[in-house]
Amino acid sequence: MDICVLVMEGTNNEAETSHSLAAVGLTPHIVIIRELIAGKYSLHQFNGLVIPGGFSAGDYVRSGAIFAAYLRPLLPDLRSLIADGWPVLGICNGFQILVELGVLPDCKENDETPGPTAILTRNSSARFECRAVSLRCEQINLFTRGLKRGEIIELPAAHAEGRFVTSTKILEEITTTGQVAFRYVGPSIPAEYPYNPNGSLDDIAGLVNRQGNVLGIMPHPERAFYWYQQASWPRQQEVHHYGPGYPFFAGMAAYIKERE
Partner 1 sequence: MNRVVDINLSAAELMQISQQLGLGLSREEMLYIREHFRKLDRLPTELELQALGQEWSEHCSYKSSLPLLRRWIFDIPTTTEVLLSEDAGVVGLDEEHVYVVALESHNHPSAIEPYGGAATGIGGVIRDVLCMGALPIALIDGLFFASPETPIASIPSGVKAPRYLLNRVVEGISDYGNRVGIPTCSGMIAFHPSYLSNCLVNVGCIGVARRDEIVRSRVSRTNEILVLVGGKTGRDGIHGVTFASANLSQESERKDRSAVQLGDPITEEPLIHACLEANKQRLIAGMKDLGGGGLSCAVTEIVGAAELGARIDLAAVNCREEMEPWEIWISESQERMLLSVAPQNLDMIATIFRRWQVQCHPIGEVIAERVIIVTYHEKELARMDGQFLLTPPQLLVHRDENREREDRSILSSRKDELKEAKCIPAHYKSFPEPSDYNEILLQLLAAENIASRAFVIRQYDYEVGARTITKPLQGRQITSSPADAVIIKPLRDSYIGLALTCDVTPQFTARDPFWGAAAAVDEVCRNLAAAGAVPHSLADCLCMGDPTVQKRMEEMKGSCRGLNFVARALGLPFASGNVSLYNETDIGSIVPTPTVLGVGIIKDIRTSLTADLKGEGNLLFLIGRTEDELYGSEYLALLGREEGNLPRVDPVQLQANCTAMARGASEKVIIAAHDLSTGGIGVCLAELTFGGGIGCQVDLQSLTGLRPDSKLFSESNSRFIVEVPPHQETNFRTIFRDCPVYFLGMTGGERIQIDDNGRSLIDVTIDSARTVWEQGLSKYFQEERWISAS
- Judged by the rule CB under 8 A, the positions of this chain that interact with partner 1 are 9-10, 12-13, 15-16, 19, 32, 34-35, 53-55, 57-59, 122, 124-134, 154, 156, 158, 160, 163, 165, 194-195, 199, 201, 220, 222-223, 225, 228-229, 231-232, 234-235, 239
| Residue 85: C-alpha distances to residues 77, 99, 171 (Å) | 13, 19, 25
**Between 63 and 141, CB nearer to partner 1:** 63
**Between 8 and 82, CB nearer to partner 1:** 8
Instruction: Give the span between the Cα atoms of 187 and 220, in whole angstroms.
Output: 22
Could you tell me the smallest distance in angstroms from the CB atom of residue 44 to partner 1? Answer: 22
137: annotated active-site residue: no
Contact 241, 225 (CB under 8 A): no
Instruction: Give the span between the Cα atoms of 69 and 174, in whole angstroms.
Output: 24
Could you tell me the smallest distance in angstroms from the CB atom of residue 229 to partner 1? Answer: 6
Instruction: Give the span between the Cα atoms of 154 and 232, in whole angstroms.
Output: 8
Question: Which strands form 2-7's sheet, in the order they lie side by side?
Answer: 27-32, 2-7, 49-51, 88-91, 214-217, 204-208, 180-184, 129-137, 152-159
End-to-end CA distance of the chain: 8
**Between 140 and 218, CB nearer to partner 1:** 218
92: annotated active-site residue: yes
Could you tell me the smallest distance in angstroms from the CB atom of residue 258 to partner 1? Answer: 28
Could you tell me the smallest distance in angstroms from the CB atom of residue 152 to partner 1? Answer: 11
State the number of CA atoms in the 13 A half-sphere of 220 facing the CB.
Answer: 26
**Between 225 and 248, CB nearer to partner 1:** 225
Could you tell me the smallest distance in angstroms from the CB atom of residue 54 to partner 1? Answer: 6
| Residue 221: C-alpha distances to residues 39, 45, 74, 87, 245 (Å) | 30, 25, 26, 15, 4
**Between 10 and 114, CB nearer to partner 1:** 10
Among candidate residues 240, 208, 225, the one with its CA nearest the CA of residue 26 = 225
Q: Where is 202: in which H helix or E strand?
A: none
222: annotated active-site residue: yes
**Between 48 and 54, CB nearer to partner 1:** 54
Catalytic pick from 4, 14, 92, 173? 92
Instruction: Give the span between the Cα atoms of 248 and 255, in whole angstroms.
Output: 11
Q: DSSP letter at 247?
A: H
Could you tell me the smallest distance in angstroms from the CB atom of residue 228 to partner 1? Answer: 6
Which residues belong to the active site? Answer: 92, 220, 222
